[in-house]
A and B are shown apart, each in its own frame.
Chain A
């Protein structure tokens, strides 16, 4: 059937929205590419090779570790009779709520020369100086990789677990009837079938790693994100920062393409996923090893850091901290509420446009608006600065020309830039949720109102929006939480003296004073738990 509506205003506004969302990145790319070759030569001769090397090495280690953590834990949970399976099943998701920079700080605190672990060891063995013993140094590239992997592996765990659980059990049964043991059929059938899902998850981890800023900055590992940050804030060199951001953008683009490619393989879904699965019986020693592995991930990735945070909060919290927390919290709230609301409105408008409009290319605005999810916050911040800065100058020039007072940096120097960046970055999340909500509405419901004499407005108000309410709520919440947590874009774009929860905690971490912000950190973790609870709930329903 054809789509029903052909409003021109709707069409125009949809394409306009998509255009506005993509323009800053295009401007930045053009700026980066057209940067003088001299600049590139200079960068290449000085810092770029080592930044690139670090970025790639870090990415390699994080993905490798996260794969080991995620695939093994997913296999253990879905394929074996491990004890406390029901609890581990969701506990393994929790590290996702933990920002990597928090874990990094807490473990540095714990394992440093001055930290409690080394202090106790010295007391115990009566060592006097660092020369007396060897202890691993956490503030290194492998250390950063471990920190990132500890909080990012749940992506792989979640998608791989889903893949295993959605597999057609008759395939496994067939392989058993053809003579394979449970273990053999896992390695020969289940694991190969889950490969596309694992690849998608790995590319998500890769993207998060490329986007990470605070962890590597804290560990003084120079990657592209830290380079962009330093080049802009340290040297004020917009051209060089744009150039570096463009290089990072290219890396991300490769990952996105790889991800899209592996997604096409994600079709091994089954109509019979709920058949009883036969589990691999673990021997006692296997039980112990499997349990140690899973519990270590849960403890190191979530329970230990949150406990450390709570202890800090109890020991150091006072009224002064609370009032700072209030003011930064309100700032965070403001930014996140704006971003979530705008992102959801855009997602709704473009999602319904794709569903209901007769435009032949109606999916394009929606697709374009969702590309931002891959762009690291630092890159996005550069994009905003290189687009909104000139725009501000132009506005000021115009104002002066017309005899008004120059309004100042009303776009690039205000909340506008942050909210804009957050909307670009997280529109994809809102899109995904709203689109999957829209897809659940049977096509016939689009037509039924018209057959009863009700027009588009009535249909939207009385049918589509009410049915989409739960999806709208979830989409809003997901974007809200991500916006609360977002750090690099906020750090680069925030107006003078404007702190959000995450930027304030980052400042405290840089100054080795997280104690002062432990409450805020706990708050961020709690917000991070919300989508996990939601995700887990919706997964249970399936």
Chain B
């Protein structure tokens, strides 16, 4: 596959504040990239900078062979062939559905325009609304018009700013699958911004996690899920809960027992954090007398996967060493009561340790 978008060392300052710093990113033709991060991390700024609504202070953005901006030049937004679907859709209220879609293709001949509009209306199931005004449409229909309008000029790259945030939760999944199919059908390369990681898992081929203007990790969603590269990434994506551990020459020790040091272990700190997914915790049988209670139920909620428990460490002699934990989450079918003391152990697996500093 050929590379479509290349971003190198991109920095953006807005009102003297560094919003993006030294960002590198490249995207293949036809890829859909999901950009996640807490609000204010710079993801929308990145989108606006690619679209040409912000001026970078350093770095370059290249699509195919075409330089959109580098140190010397900055192509105006209308010449970039980059489409955008806005969070509020930004549909023109004074134009009909058809006129909205035709807006960006006035340079085509009438026949070509009509053909393009017909094609899009059919694919997006909007044929009945051709002459409707925007306020006459439902939220989902409006979004489809926004997509049709953005696709009509056949942009090289499509940007979507939180496209699903205004959609009813029940419709959202269905719509995401539908739009993903469409983008694939048109072989459109796309970047979409969201703060909801689940949307990325459903919608995107690639995932980028951002924090404070920097790109933390960029990979396939499944890879990031299995191998988050930092505490921040795992914590933001809520891939599991954290168990503090103490490292010594003999091994790694936690309030839930001793752990083997993994082969590729490279941490220098004496306190590290083990990422624990709920499925990696096991409840010990209490009838066995060897089991001493090591956790206490702090919070219970009922979910479709059974009870969800949040555990806190029980006070013991080691607690002072900063190894106490809380909000350790796991699922079980067994009914436990609040404040009940239990014994849990860690299922052996490829342990992922992180230090909090990076």
Residue on B nearest A441 in the bound complex, by CB: B93
Complex CA gap A442/B159 in Å reads 19
A454 → chain B, closest Cβ, in Å?
A: 6
Give complex CA distance A429, B150 in Å.
Answer: 38
Q: 1/0 per position for B88-100, CB-CB distance to A under 8 A?
A: 1111111000000
- B255, CB-defined interface residue at 8 Å: no
Do B92 and A463 have beta carbons less than 8 Å apart? yes
Which stretch from A48-56, A326-334, A411-419, A444-452 is at the chain B interface? A444-452
A448 pairs with B55, CB closer than 8 A: no
Contact across chains for B150 and A4 when beta carbons are under 8 A apart: no
Q: Are B79 and A448 in contact (CB under 8 A)?
A: no
A462, CB-defined interface residue at 8 Å: yes
Question: Is B278 in contact with chain A by the CB < 8 A criterion?
Answer: no
B48/A454 in contact, CB under 8 A: no
Closest B residue by C-beta to A1: B53
Residue in chain A with minimal CB distance to B146:
A448
Knowing A463-B92, A467-B93 are in contact, say whether A449-B78 is a contact too (CB < 8 A): yes
User: Which residues from B are CB-within-8-Å of A445?
Assistant: 90, 92
Instruction: Say yes or no for A192: interface residue by CB 8 A criterion.
Output: no
Query: Which of A444, A451, A452, A466 has the most chain B CB atoms inside 10 A of its CB?
Result: A451
Q: Is the CB of B54 within 8 A of A442?
A: no
Q: Are A444 and B83 in contact, CB atoms less than 8 angstroms apart?
A: no
Q: Report if B351 contacts A (CB, 8 A).
A: no
In the complex, are the beta carbons of B81 and A453 less than 8 A apart? yes
Query: Is there an interface contact between A452 and B104, defined as CB atoms closer than 8 Å?
Result: yes
Once A444-B86, A455-B78 are accepted as A-B contacts, the answer to whether A449 and B103 lie under 8 Å apart by CB is yes
- Name the contact of A467 in the complex, choosing from B48, B51, B82, B94 (C-beta under 8 A): B94
Task: Flag if A447 contacts B90 (CB, 8 Å).
Answer: yes
Q: Which of A447, A454, A458, A466 contacts B84 (CB 8 A)?
A: A447
Q: Which of B57-104 contact A (CB under 8 A)?
A: 76-79, 81-84, 86-94, 103-104
Q: How far is the CA of A4 from the CA of B149 in the complex (A)?
A: 21
A453-B78 contact in complex given A444-B87, A447-B86, C-beta closer than 8 Å: yes
Chain A residues with CB under 8 A of B90: 442, 444-445, 447-448
In angstroms, Cα B94 to Cα A242, docked, is 50
Q: Which residues of B contact A442 (CB under 8 A)?
A: 88, 90
Assembled-state Cα–Cα distance A462/B106 (Å):
11
Q: What are 25 contact pairs spanning A and B, CB under 8 A?
A: A1-B53, A1-B54, A2-B55, A4-B53, A442-B88, A444-B86, A447-B77, A447-B84, A449-B78, A450-B52, A450-B53, A450-B76, A451-B77, A451-B78, A452-B150, A452-B153, A453-B78, A453-B81, A453-B104, A454-B78, A458-B106, A462-B92, A463-B94, A467-B93, A467-B94
- A-B contacts besides A448-B91, A451-B78, 18 pairs, CB < 8 Å: A1-B53, A2-B54, A2-B55, A444-B86, A447-B77, A448-B92, A450-B52, A451-B150, A451-B159, A452-B78, A452-B150, A452-B153, A453-B79, A453-B104, A454-B103, A463-B92, A463-B94, A467-B93
